Amino acid sequence: MLFVEAINKTITQSNEKKLLARNKYRPASHHHDSVELSSAAHEVKEIYLSSEEKTTLSAASSIFANIIEHVLNHCFNTITHLHSPEEINVDIKDWVLFLQVPPLANNNHSGSNQPSPQNAYKPTSKKSLIFHIPVKPFYGTAINMTLMMSSHQGSPKTPSCFDHLPKESQLSTLHTPYPPEFLSQQTQHYHIFIDQDGEPDQLNPLYSLVNQSRLLDESLFSEETFGLRIWRAKNGTLIPAALGDRQIGLLFVEHYLPLSGNANNQEMASGQVNNLYTKA
């Protein structure tokens, strides 16, 4: 995962491309399509990520991504690189990724279809690990950050690290190019949910869009990353944060907005993909 400053220096976009992007279809608002953990959450079985629906990759997101990468390298005892779409140049191309939503638990026992805040739908976990990471700014003293990683209740595939790692682990220092003033203002405690319920080639729609030299042989990746899905509960919404694939490896997608996979949206997304094939 590149830090944002490096991405901004290496990834450029022509004025022509920017003008074309302005004319692409965009839903009027995001809150209708977001996968909210509400009384209707159990009806949402599928979501999708679209290249057209994203926010700018920020320095704060870059820190979060590098913490995930740091923890996964410890868990899988390997050197795993978490790419961003910007890094592999697919952020300026058209694509759609469909995902199955992980199991959610309804804690509302009142029978009401309108759960109260304390009875809202929440992702449930059966195992959790806590990692303490000293995050070093460009200069000065490291800031201690924590990441809790939980497996999903009901997920048929759980990474093996939950079976052999201790409940809490102290990791090595993560070095960043950011000043201490910036790091001290960032979130210092993260919680992610992880499963291996995706297909080993779940990033297949991106294969033809990535420079072929970036597609590596699957023997170079840990099999633990095949079909890996990392989620983050954020503002009452379950957000895909990273996806693992046997050819592309790990891809950071938290800054892409999850859209509900209802019939209308699926038809729209399919139409976009068909148009791409027609143009090609």
Tens digits of per-residue pLDDT, 118-141? 333 455 556 899 999 999 999 999
Give the pLDDT of residue 223: 82
Work out the average pLDDT over 190-210.
92
Q: Fill in the amino acid letter for 72.
A: L
Q: Which two tokens stand for residue 121?
A: 């739908």
Read off φ and ψ for residue 4, nearest 5 degrees. Answer: -55, -40
Q: How confident is the model at residue 250 (pLDDT cuts 50, 70, 90)?
A: very high
Give the pLDDT of residue 88: 87
Instruction: Give one word for 37, left, alpha or beta, with left for phi > 0 and alpha for psi -120 to 50.
Output: beta
Average pLDDT of the chain is: 75
Q: How confident is the model at residue 46 (pLDDT cuts 50, 70, 90)?
A: confident
Q: How far apart are CA 270 and CA 181, in angstroms?
A: 45
Lowest-confidence segment of 71-80, 150-159, 180-189 by average pLDDT: 150-159
Lowest-confidence segment of 98-102, 110-114, 225-229, 267-271 by average pLDDT: 110-114
